[in-house]
Structure formats: C-alpha cells, structure tokens
Chain A
Amino acid sequence: MKVSVFRFLAAFSLALAILNAALLAHFAAENAKLREAVEVERLLCEEAARLHAKERARYESLYRNLTKALEENREINDALMEVSGKVVVPKNYTVILEREDP
C-alpha cells in the first residue's frame, strides 16, 4: 500500500513538474509575442503620431500663411475703399474750402 502511494505521489509530482514547465514555456512564449507586438504597435503609433504632427504643422503653417494673405487682402481692400469716391482737390481749392466761420 505504502509503495503504491509513494509511486502515485512520485508520478503526480513529475506530472506537476512537467505541467509547470509547459505552462512556463507557453506563457513565456505568449508573453514574448505580446511584448514584441506591443513594441511594434508602439513604433507604428509613434510613426502615426509623427505623421499626424507633421501634417498638422504643415496645415498650421499654411493656415498662418492664409491668415497673412487675408490680412493683406483686408489692407488692400481698406486702401481701395479709402480712396474710392474721393476727389483730388488741388491746394488752391483747399485754401478757400478751409475758410472758417468768423
């Protein structure tokens, strides 16, 4: 009886040791794969972020240029509006125009 218990325990322990090793190997491999995937994903994400940031910077730069162009457009508009409908009055006319009420 004692011999058979001893054998069972020995076999069970051996099985547990094998299972342990198998678990360790399986999870370690899966872990390594996941780490690699995370690393690859991190690189891809960084690349996407770089791409996005670069495009955003290009957009913002062009937007600034547009803002400047619109500002120039407003200045030209103001300058044209300023003179439109005005009369060019020679100095000899302005002398008489500026006569004040006594």
Chain B
Amino acid sequence: MRAAVLALIAALLAASNLYTYLYFTALNSQLRSELQQLAFQRSRELTEYSAISKMYMPALEASYYSVAEANGRLRKVLNSLRMDLERIPYNYTMMPYVEFAEKYTFTYTDEMREFVLNVTGGWDGTDEDFKSDLYKIYRAWRSIFTYVSTAEDPPAGGILLISIGIFDFGWIEVYSLEGERWVRIDYLREVPLGYEIKPITVGGAPEIFHSRQGKCRDYAVALISLYNAYYDASGRSLPTIYLSVGGRDFHHAVVLIKLEGDRVAIVDWDVVTPVTGGMLEFVPFQEAKRLHEEYWGRSLSYEGYMRSRPYKAGRFNSTEEFYEWLVNELR
C-alpha cells in the first residue's frame, strides 16, 4: 500500500516536472520573441532616425537656407523696384511693351484729330464727301511729309521700360517623407543684373506726325492714323491696312483701303488708283495692282500687312493668298 502511494507521488512529480518544463519553455519562448520584435522595432526606429538626421536633414537645411537667402536678395530688388515706381510723379498704367507698341503705332493725338477736321471740315453724310475727305487727308499729309532716308529716332520721352535682365534659376533636392522619395524643386535664385527703369524711344504715328518726316513706313503709319481719326470723328470707317510691298531689291509700304468685295484704293506716295472729281475711287484688286505696278514700272508682290484696333499683322506667300484674305477676311 505504501509503495503504491509512493509510486503515485512519483508519477505526480514526474508530471509536474514535465508541466513546469513545458510551461516555462513556452513562456520564455514568447518573451524571447517579444524581445526580438522590440529589438527589431528599435533598430528600425534608429535607422529611420539616422536617415533623417544624417541624410535628409542636412540636405533640407542647406536647401532651406539657399531659398531663404535667395528670397532675401530678391525681396530687396522687388522692394527697391516698387519704391522707384512709387516715385514716378504722374499717374500711369503698366502694360507689356508689345501690347503698347501695337496700340501705339496707329494711334492719333488730339492735334492729329484737329488736323483731319481742319482739312476735311467733317463728313456731311454722303458717300461723295466721305471719298473726297479720304483724298483730302492723303493730300494734306503728303504735302507736309518729307521723305528722309535716314530719319533720326525721336528722342526718348515719357515712356519708361522696366527691364530685368536675367532671371537666374537654381534647384534644390530634398527628401519628401510623405512621398518617400527625393524631389527636385526649381526656384528663382537671383536677378544678377538687378532692374532698370529707363526712358525709351517710341516711334508711333504721333511722333511721325509731329516730325513730318521719315521713310515710306512712317508715311503709311501716320496716314492710317489720320484716317482712324477721321473714321472716329465721322462715325464711319473702311478697312484700312498698312501693306508691305516687295519686288526685286525693293521693299516698300503703302496704305490700302477696302470698300467692299475686292474693290480697293491704294495710296502710295501718290494715290495709285484713280481719283475722280477729287474723290478716291475704288477699283477691283487686279486693276489696282496693275496700276500699282505701272506706277513703279515693275512687278510687285504684296507680302504682309498690319492693321489697327485691334492690332493684327500677317504675311502672304502669294498674290492669290493675299486676294483670298482681302476678299474674305478683311473687314
């Protein structure tokens, strides 16, 4: 009986040993795994920390200081420019140079308007008077205009040009934590030449009218502006263009006025198309071209045009192309 009890105790102790071994082995294995995970996590955190502090941060700091320094330099330039503009002692507006040049080329002054009204006495509402006035304006302008082959540029006047010579761009490369990649960003580094606000020469119709001299280009530009002044005063207008004429070793500019369809009048140094009873006459294009070539004693080609309000310009590759445009597009 005692031996049986002892055997039972021995069996229980053996089971307890086994249980203790298994229990602790499992528990410790779990702890080892947890330890390993934590070590891995720490290593990852340290790797990321190290990447930020040793790789990304220096690049970011350098980039930031580059941009901040550039901003400081540029802000100085911009502030100085604004102060200079504030010092301009009259009211003004700013516009792109090209837009100004396009608008200004064919504009007219009050003096030009007075000139036109004095010459024509205004429009009485009849076709005859309108055509007669167009001729009178040509004649008056032709009589006071002198051709000079080397006309001096008009003096620089009240128009100022803002010029910023060079925009020098740089780039930075920083790491985006969100995008998890390096990104390259362009920025304005400096305007090394600073800025300049300088008076410029403008050579539009008002200057030409004032000087009453120049080349064929000047003559045609001012005549178109005088016609514009008349059209505005009378309330009636005809499509009137500056026409570039070419030939062998020959470049010239004239004024073409379209009545309707292909009926035109061409005003060169003289009126090329017929003038009847002191009135411009409008003839079919082919007839006008024939008369024009007869006037110059050579074959001519119409190579390009400019018109005003709104400003437009274009080139033609052939007489046929010009004719198509004249009939279908010039209004």
Contact assessment for A91 and B92 in the assembled complex, using a CB-CB cutoff below 8 Å: yes
Chain A residues near B42 (CB, 8 Å)? Answer: 41, 44-45, 48
Closest A residue to B231 using CB positions: A102
Contact assessment for B28 and A66 in the assembled complex, using a CB-CB cutoff below 8 Å: no
Contact assessment for B20 and A13 in the assembled complex, using a CB-CB cutoff below 8 Å: no
In the bound complex, what is the Cα–Cα distance between A72 and B109 (angstroms)? 43
Q: In the complex where A27-B24, A55-B49, A90-B92 touch, is A96 in contact with B75 (Cβ < 8 A)?
A: no
Contact assessment for B187 and A16 in the assembled complex, using a CB-CB cutoff below 8 Å: no
In the assembled complex, the CB of A93 is this many whole angstroms from the nearest CB of chain B, namely 7
Chain B residues near A55 (CB, 8 Å)? Answer: 49, 52-53, 57
Q: Does B41 contact A (CB under 8 A)?
A: yes
In the bound complex, what is the Cα–Cα distance between A48 and B45 (angstroms)? 6
Q: Does B3 contact A (CB under 8 A)?
A: yes
What range describes how many residues of B lie at the interface? 35 or more
Q: In the complex where A17-B13, A91-B93, A102-B237 touch, is A86 in contact with B78 (Cβ < 8 A)?
A: no
A interface residues, tally (CB under 8 Å): 65
Contact assessment for B3 and A9 in the assembled complex, using a CB-CB cutoff below 8 Å: yes
Per-residue CB contact flags for chain A residues 24-67 toward chain B (1 = under 8 Å, else 0) read 10011011001101100110110011011001101110110110
In the bound complex, what is the Cα–Cα distance between A60 and B177 (angstroms)? 8
Contact assessment for B97 and A86 in the assembled complex, using a CB-CB cutoff below 8 Å: yes
Chain A residues near B64 (CB, 8 Å)? Answer: 62, 65-66, 69
Contact assessment for B17 and A23 in the assembled complex, using a CB-CB cutoff below 8 Å: yes
In the bound complex, what is the Cα–Cα distance between A48 and B237 (angstroms)? 83
Q: Which of B21, B35, B46, B94 contacts A83 (CB 8 A)?
A: B94
Contact assessment for B97 and A31 in the assembled complex, using a CB-CB cutoff below 8 Å: no
Chain B residues near A60 (CB, 8 Å)? Answer: 177
In the bound complex, what is the Cα–Cα distance between A21 and B39 (angstroms)? 32
In the bound complex, what is the Cα–Cα distance between A96 and B105 (angstroms)? 11
In the bound complex, what is the Cα–Cα distance between A42 and B163 (angstroms)? 64
A61-90 at interface with B (beta carbon < 8 Å): 62-63, 65-66, 69-70, 72-74, 76-77, 79-81, 83-90
Chain A residues near B75 (CB, 8 Å)? Answer: 76
Q: Does B158 contact A (CB under 8 A)?
A: yes
Contact assessment for A89 and B237 in the assembled complex, using a CB-CB cutoff below 8 Å: no
Q: In the complex where A27-B24, A49-B45, A66-B60 touch, is A41 in contact with B96 (Cβ < 8 A)?
A: no
Q: Does B100 contact A (CB under 8 A)?
A: yes
In the assembled complex, the CB of A57 is this many whole angstroms from the nearest CB of chain B, namely 10
Interface residues of A (CB under 8 A from B): 2, 5-6, 9-10, 12-13, 16-17, 19-20, 23-24, 27-28, 30-31, 34-35, 37-38, 41-42, 44-45, 48-49, 51-52, 55-56, 58-60, 62-63, 65-66, 69-70, 72-74, 76-77, 79-81, 83-91, 93-94, 96-97, 99-102
17 A-B pairs (CB sep. < 8 Å): A9-B10, A20-B20, A27-B24, A38-B31, A41-B42, A48-B41, A48-B46, A66-B64, A66-B67, A69-B64, A69-B67, A88-B92, A89-B100, A97-B100, A97-B103, A101-B237, A102-B231
